[in-house]
């Protein structure tokens, strides 16, 4: 799986982003659309034509991937929710994974998205790829739809599932056995119940049935064939780990460069089960722990301040690859950062931090415009307002644009180690370091302060703050008299000269060897790039944290050939230590990128 850690992801709830085609607003149920946009539980008109019209805006913002809420055909009409009607505007009540929902289409024929190569989805993919934007599709494998009021015969319907328009099964008439029938979750501490019972009354798929697994994987392979570049996976904690291991293996086999990340709600470094999921499922994970630390520090003004943020980074070694974490301030399931109490300046600080820290940053639609609605504390659905402004001059927009460029160019930001330099409740400074690349980020939420920074890994010279163009000098790893105003961010970036590109690059990741001071980890092997078993010419890896060593190696002579290699530790006093196992043997592709992840043996 290829990480997206050089990217900035933009996440849009399609119905609330931009209405590019008024002809599809009512869909098949006029009652489910509200032209006044006052009923927050109904469709408001956003569609894929609207997304296409705003791609240049997203490109200028600096985003290189766009995550869209599910595009699949949704349950029609309204569902009773606490005495009021709610439509499937959000996209998480699919009834046909092989059709496009009519509210998102450009023409009636677009709903049969796989019957033609000239649908609005094809135009979206082409328009995105022409702009070097990657499409991340939100998918739901756990459930279909809740019980709706009545069908045409006067009976309630629940969980109807179709195969390109052909009814396969439903919860009420489940001859195929594709649904669990265990009622709702009562004990959230019971893992088996969480995985096999219903969430919020949604018909829960029975993943143990091979017929269902074949259907969902076949459908999603069709979307990959359309040009989808990544999956964001909903509700992963509600399905067993073995399902995700099988699912990711099949999807990545079909599309080797596919990026997949999941939503384990409120998961992260403090949730042992979610850490296990991140390490064993084959996919990345949304980093709720960092979001909560940032929210407590910057929006709620918690006394511990940046200590809450640094504590999350201290736990990065729990993950086999912390680059696969997806960082964010806002999303569609919780109040926005400003609804939680953040000022615009604090939003800017939060954005600057996720754009310079490990993982892949994700910007929720409108955050760059300070979009929020504080009704009911900003909770769902008030965290999903209609996008109204497209101002490229807001401080947040300009900040994202500048730091997205740093992220694309600087290997330290993409892959480097995190090294805390200053930490207090109000002031936080760290460097990201990879090989000769370095990025320094500093933040102040308190009163104006002046400080000296020591042991900064930047080469000596004069640098300009990426965010303000203010010049500072670095001499012998020291910055003297750095002034930080209240609620401000400061970023310096140094990228080593780019090396010659080759047709193939392999990334080695090693977990499970906790080195001591003075030890170095290398890869040696039977090919020229790995020194032909000559340790003096072997490939050194970079220390990321106590559980992760990393190195990106261009492969020129050995592309398309089989290679053998081993990891070795060089010790200053005790010689070398090889892995206690036979050599790893891999067939190299002819071109592209490949990641090899290993545990020390």
Per-domain residue ranges of the chain: 9-141+210-411, 415-494, 504-599
Distance CA 288, CA 267 (A): 6
Least confident of 22-31, 388-397, 405-414, 514-523: 514-523
Q: What is the pLDDT at residue 353?
A: 98
Q: What is the pLDDT at residue 83?
A: 73
pLDDT at 595 over 80: yes
Q: What is the pLDDT at residue 156?
A: 81
- Give pLDDT tens digits for 331-353: 999 999 999 999 999 999 999 99
* Residue 412 main-chain phi, psi, to 5 deg: -65, -40
Task: Taking residues 485-503, report their average pLDDT.
Answer: 92
Distance CA 508, CA 266 (A): 30
What is the homologous superfamily of the domain 415-494 according to CATH? Golgi alpha-mannosidase II (2.60.40.1180)
pLDDT at 501 over 90: no
- Give pLDDT tens digits for 449-469: 999 999 999 999 999 999 998
Query: Are both 9-141+210-411 and 504-599 of the same fold?
Result: no
Least confident of 82-96, 209-223, 354-368: 82-96
Secondary structure class of 106 (helix, strand, coil): coil
pLDDT at 153 over 70: no
Q: What is the pLDDT at residue 502?
A: 84
Specify the DSSP class assigned to residue 175.
T
Listed in sequence order, the residues at least 6 apart from 87 whose beta carbon sits closer than 8 Å to its beta carbon are 29, 32, 33, 41, 42, 43, 77, 78, 79
Q: What is the pLDDT at residue 499?
A: 79
Distance CA 572, CA 520 (A): 9
Distance CA 314, CA 362 (A): 21
Task: Taking residues 503-527, report their average pLDDT.
Answer: 91
Q: What is the pLDDT at residue 498?
A: 82
- Of all residues in the chain, the percent with pLDDT exceeding 90 is 92
Q: Could you tell me the fold of the domain covering 9-141+210-411?
A: TIM Barrel (3.20.20)
Q: Which two tokens stand for residue 538?
A: 């072997």
Among residues 279, 263, 349, 361, the alpha carbon closest in space to that of 318 is found at: 279
Sole residue written with tokens 């392979």: 221
In 407-557, DSSP assigns E strands to: 417-423, 427-434, 437-444, 449-453, 461-464, 471-474, 479-484, 488-494, 504-511, 520-525, 539-540, 542-545, 548-555
Q: Which strands sit side by side in the sheet containing 72-74, from one edge to the other? A: 72-74, 94-100, 161-163, 166-169
Distance CA 132, CA 506 (A): 22
Task: Taking residues 45-67, report their average pLDDT.
Answer: 98
State the Rg of the chain over Cα.
25
Q: What is the pLDDT at residue 82?
A: 67
The CATH classification of domain 504-599, taken from the options 1.20.1070.10, 3.40.50.970, 2.60.40.10, 3.40.50.300: 2.60.40.10
| Catalytic residue chosen out of the listed positions 207, 234, 296, 465 | 234
User: pLDDT class for 533, splitting at 50, 70, 90?
Assistant: very high
Give yes or no: 263 in active site. yes
User: pLDDT class for 575, splitting at 50, 70, 90?
Assistant: confident
- Give pLDDT tens digits for 1-26: 677 889 999 999 999 999 999 999 99
Q: What is the pLDDT at residue 566?
A: 97
- Give pLDDT tens digits for 257-279: 999 999 999 999 999 999 999 99
pTM of the model: 0.96
Task: Taking residues 50-74, report their average pLDDT.
Answer: 98
Q: At what angle do helices 395-409 and 344-356 cross, to 10 degrees?
A: 10
Distance CA 515, CA 540 (A): 14
Give yes or no: 460 in active site. no
Task: Taking residues 496-525, report their average pLDDT.
Answer: 89
Distance CA 226, CA 117 (A): 8
| Catalytic residue chosen out of the listed positions 76, 263, 330, 487 | 263
Q: What is the pLDDT at residue 43?
A: 98
In terms of phi and psi (left: phi > 0; alpha: psi -120 to 50; beta: otherwise), the region of 173 is beta
Task: Taking residues 374-390, report their average pLDDT.
Answer: 97
- Give pLDDT tens digits for 167-185: 999 999 999 999 999 999 9
Least confident of 57-66, 77-86, 117-126, 463-472: 77-86
**Residue 468, CB-side half-sphere exposure with 13 Å CA sphere:** 12
pLDDT at 404 over 80: yes
- What's the mean pLDDT when you consider all of the chain? 95
Are the beta carbons of 147 and 79 closer than 8 angstroms? Answer: yes
User: pLDDT class for 515, splitting at 50, 70, 90?
Assistant: confident
- Of all residues in the chain, the percent with pLDDT exceeding 70 is 98
* Alpha carbon distance, N-terminus to C-terminus of the chain: 23
User: pLDDT class for 574, splitting at 50, 70, 90?
Assistant: confident
């Amino acid at each position: 799986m290829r990480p997206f850690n050089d990217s900035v992801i933009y996440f849009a709830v399609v119905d609330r982003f931009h209405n590019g085609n008024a002809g599809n607003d009512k869909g098949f149920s006029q009652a489910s659309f509200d032209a006044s946009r006052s009923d927050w539980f109904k469709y408001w008109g956003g569609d894929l034509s609207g997304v296409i019209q705003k791609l240049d805006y997203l490109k200028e913002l600096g985003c290189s991937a766009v995550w869209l809420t599910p595009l699949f055909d949704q349950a029609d009409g309204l569902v009773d929710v606490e005495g009021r009607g709610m439509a499937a505007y959000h996209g998480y009540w699919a009834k046909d994974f092989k059709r496009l929902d009519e509210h998102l289409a450009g023409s009636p024929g677009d709903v049969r998205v796989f019957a033609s190569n000239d649908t609005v989805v094809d135009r979206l993919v082409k328009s995105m790829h022409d702009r070097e934007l990657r499409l991340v599709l939100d998918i739901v494998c756990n459930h279909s739809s809740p019980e709706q009021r009545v069908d045409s015969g006067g009976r309630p319907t629940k969980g109807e599932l179709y195969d390109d328009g052909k009814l396969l099964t439903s919860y009420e008439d489940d001859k195929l056995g594709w649904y669990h029938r265990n009622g709702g979750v009562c004990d959230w501490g019971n893992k088996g119940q969480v995985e096999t019972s219903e969430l919020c009354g949604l018909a829960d798929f029975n993943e143990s049935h091979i017929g269902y697994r074949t259907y969902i994987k076949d459908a999603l392979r069709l979307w990959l064939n359309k040009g989808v570049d990544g999956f964001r996976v909903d509700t992963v904690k509600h399905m067993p780990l073995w399902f995700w291991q099988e699912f990711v293996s099949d999807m990545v086999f079909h599309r080797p460069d596919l990026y997949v990340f999941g939503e384990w709600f409120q998961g992260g470094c403090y949730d042992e089960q979610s850490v296990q999921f991140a390490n064993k499922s084959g996919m990345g994970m949304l980093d709720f722990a960092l979001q909560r630390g940032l929210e407590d520090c910057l929006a709620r003004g918690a006394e511990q301040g940046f200590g809450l943020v640094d504590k999350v980074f201290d736990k990065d070694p729990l993950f086999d690859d912390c680059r696969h974490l997806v960082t964010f301030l806002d999303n569609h399931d919780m109040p926005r950062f400003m609804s939680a109490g953040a000022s615009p300046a604090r939003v800017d600080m939060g954005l600057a931090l996720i754009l310079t820290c490990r993982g892949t940053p994700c910007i929720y639609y409108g955050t760059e415009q300070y979009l929020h609605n504080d009704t009911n504390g900003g909770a769902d659905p008030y965290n999903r307002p209609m996008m109204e402004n497209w101002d490229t001059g807001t401080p947040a927009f300009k900040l994202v644009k500048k730091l997205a460029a740093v992220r694309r160019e600087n290997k330290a930001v993409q892959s480097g180690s995190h090294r805390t330099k200053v930490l207090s409740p109000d002031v936080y400074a760290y460097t990201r370091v990879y090989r000769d690349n370095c990025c320094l980020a500093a933040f102040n939420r308190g009163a104006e302060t002046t400080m000296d920074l020591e042991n900064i890994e930047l080469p000596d010279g004069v640098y300009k703050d990426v965010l303000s163009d203010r010049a500072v000098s670095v001499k012998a790893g020291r910055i003297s008299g750095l002034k930080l105003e209240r609620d401000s961010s400061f970023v310096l970036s140094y990228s080593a000269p780019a090396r010659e590109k080759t047709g193939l690059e392999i990334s080695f990741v090693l977990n499970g060897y906790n080195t001591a001071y003075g030890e170095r980890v290398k890869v040696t092997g039977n090919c020229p790039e790995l020194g032909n078993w000559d340790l003096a010419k072997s490939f050194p890896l970079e220390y990321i944290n106590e559980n992760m060593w990393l190195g990106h190696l261009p492969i020129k002579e050995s592309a398309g050939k089989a290679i053998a290699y081993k990891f070795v530790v060089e010790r200053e006093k005790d010689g070398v230590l090889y892995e206690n196992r036979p050599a790893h043997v891999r067939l190299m592709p002819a071109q592209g990128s490949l990641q090899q992840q290993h545990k020390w043996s």
